[in-house]
Each structure stands twice: as structure tokens, then as C-alpha cells.
Amino acid sequence: MIVKQFKDKHMKNPHEINLMDELTLRGVTQYYAFVEERQKVHCLNTLFAKLQINQSIIFCNSTNRVELLAKKVTELGYSCFYSHAKMVQSARNRVFHDFRNGVCRNLVCSDLLTRGIDIQAVNVVINFDFPKHSETYLHRIGRSGRFGHLGLAINLITYEDRFNLYRIEQELGTEIQPIPAEINKSLYVAPSAIDEPAGQVPNSRSSAPESNSRSGTNGQAADAQQPRNGGTHAGQGRGQPRGGQQGPRGGGANGRGAAPQR
């Protein structure tokens, strides 16, 4: 039950102070891309290659999917940590500490990381799974554009998500635009960084922070199938971002955590 549902059910004439718009929507450019479920990893790979990502957070709707996606991302050759509620607190703390210090560029996580986590280097948030509630959406995209910086939020929308997309737009009084053929880097990259070399490059083999999860893999992403690229390209019809540039490389944390990268 989210706060709004609890308020509506149990309180009479409550006084509501809502600071979420100020905290999360300002400075964040929002896009969506319609995809089939099987196209999501292919679309994510395209985004990694085209966007100028300094650091990114990728949200999934379940802990299982967090580990599966982290495995696929590392198989694609990109540095990736993951974090979710089934990991022990010390492992989650280590992941957060290393990610904040720039050891790794991409973090796959559940909604555990939607509140109270401020990392200045994060300029891109990707909803690999679209959330069901507007409050969750606000807190997720609020991980980018922190401290007055610009940010980019990209939502992968399936046929089943279309009603949630419309409802969340209505509840938040915002408009999430279809992803264009080119995303202007000035919308989410500091001017001083725009002229850096282009493309997020897969990193050399390394490991990510240690963790314990029910999968029994000591924090390594669970075995998963290779991403399938079937169907039309994930951005066709809605356009895809182009002209990305390279942010700081990630790298591993000396034997801790997620699967090795190429």
C-alpha cells in the first residue's frame, strides 16, 4: 500500500504537503519507447551504445528480474552492479558505496533504491519495467537530475503498460514524450562534458560488489539466456537516441558481486 492509498483509506481530511514535483520532475527529460518484452534487452543495448551515460540506474519490478538483467548486461560487455532487498544489508551498502565512487557505470536494482539515494553522477534512469504507481515513478526518475543537474528518464513500455503510462501522466500532470530519433545531449549532459569521445564502451573483465541473495550465487547475477533480438528494432516507429558519448568507465571491485564483464 502506497502512502496515498493509506491516506485515502484511514484518514479524514488529511493535510497533504507534496514536494515530489519539486524534487523529481524538474530538470528531468522523460521519454518512452513502445517495445515487446523480448525486445527490451536489445533496446537497452542500443541505449547504452548511443547515449552519453555518465552513470545509469536501471529499474526492474522484481528481485528476480534484477539479477537476470544484470547477468544479461554483463554478457553484453558493460560494467554492471545490482542491488535488491533480498541481499544482506552489508552487501547492499558495499554496492552503493562502490557505485557512488564510480567503480561501475550501471546499476540494476529494484525499488529498494528509489528513495533517499542521491548520486550526483547519475544522469540517466531507465525503467526497464514500467512501475504501476505514479509515486514509484516519481521516486525512480528522481535518481537522475539531482543537485540541480540535468537528467534523462527513458521508459520501456509494453502493450500491457500503456494504460499505466496514461494514468501516471494524468496523475502527475506531466507528459512523457515518445523517444525521438535523436536526443539532444544538452538535455542531460553538462555542457563541459558534451565534447568528450562518443559511445559507452564495454569494459574489461572485472567483478562487482559481493552480495547474498536467494539465488545462492553470492551476489553474482543468476544464469540467464542470452538477450534475444527478435522482432523489429526496439526503437523503430518511435525513433532511437543517437550520437551518445562516453562517460567515465566503470570497472570492477576486485572479485565482488556481479558477473564478469568483457
Reference 133, options 158, 159, 161, 153; nearest CA is: 161
> What distance in Å separates the CA atoms of residue 52 and residue 45, rounded to the nearest whole number?
13
Checking if the pLDDT of 232 tops 70, the result is no
Q: What is the pLDDT of residue 26?
A: 76
Within a 10 A sphere around the Cβ of 223, how many other Cβ atoms?
11
What confidence score (pLDDT) does residue 70 get?
97
At 224, the pLDDT band (50, 70, 90 cuts) reads very low
pLDDT of res. 121: 85
Three cell numbers, residue 166: 496514461
In degrees to the nearest 10, what's the CA dihedral of 123, 128, 133, 134? 30
Segments of 3-139 assigned E as strands? 28-34, 55-59, 80-83, 106-109, 122-127
Contact between 95 and 211 (Cβ < 8 Å) = yes
Residue 209 has pLDDT above 90, yes or no: no
- Does 219 have pLDDT greater than 50? no
Burial 229-260 (b: 16+ CB within 10 A, else e): eeeeebbeebebbeebbbbeebbbbeebbbbb
What is the per-residue pLDDT for 242? 35
For residues 183 and 192, what is the distance between their CA atoms, to the nearest angstrom? 17
Residues 6+ apart with CB under 8 A from 39: 229, 230, 231, 232, 233, 234
The letter for the amino acid at 153 is: A
Average pLDDT in the 156-173 region? 95
The kind and range of the H/E element at 190 are none
Helix then strand then coil, % of the chain, to nearest 5: 35, 15, 55
**Cβ partners under 8 Å of residue 140, min gap 6:** 59, 111, 114, 125, 127, 131, 153
Instruction: Set out the domains of the chain in order of their start, with CATH numbers.
Output: 27-217+227-256 (3.40.50.300)
Provide the whole-model pTM.
Answer: 0.70
